[in-house]
Structure formats: structure tokens, C-alpha cells
Amino acid sequence: MQNVLRMATRTLVRCLVCGSREVRTDEVVNRGVMLLAECPHCQHRWTEAAIPALPAPEQLRPALPARREVASAA
């Protein structure tokens, strides 16, 4: 089994039933990443597919073309 550690991010979710913002969430890996959510106010529970994490900033920048060295005039 492969353990994957990712940076913790805040999940901004509202309850679909009562609209409470105090939703507890947890990520589960089972054939993909799933988000388990529970509202402590009305006890509503649901699952949804988690949004994939954004790539690292280095991966967002396009690679710079290689520079050629110019021969000296000496």
C-alpha cells in the first residue's frame, strides 16, 4: 500500500440541507479520492468526488527553451 501525504487544505463546503458552514470533512482514497462530509447541525451525511489538487507552481510554468552558447571571438 502506498502512503501519499499531501498538504492539508481547507475544504469550503456548506450543508446541502440546512446550509450550515460547520461541515466536517475527510478524504478517503478508494479508486480515486472521495470526500466524506457530515453536518453536525442536522446530521446530514454525504460523499462526493474530491476536486483534484492543483499542480505545483513549477509544473504550471512552461519550460524555458535551452540557450545555446556563442563561441568567443578570440
- 19 vs 11: CA distance, rounded Å: 15
Whether 47 contacts 70, CB under 8 Å: no
pLDDT in tens, 24-64: 888 888 778 888 899 999 999 998 886 665 555 555 566 66
Whether 27 contacts 34, CB under 8 Å: yes
**pLDDT score recorded for residue 27:** 85
Report the amino acid identity of residue 34.
Answer: M
- DSSP letter at 16 equals T
| Statement: residue 3 has pLDDT above 70 | no
Taking the model in full, what pTM does it have?
0.52
The residue-averaged pLDDT of 1-26 equals 77
Q: Domain spans of the chain?
A: 16-53
In 3D space, the residue among 34, 40, 33, 32 whose CA is nearest the CA of residue 14 turns out to be: 40
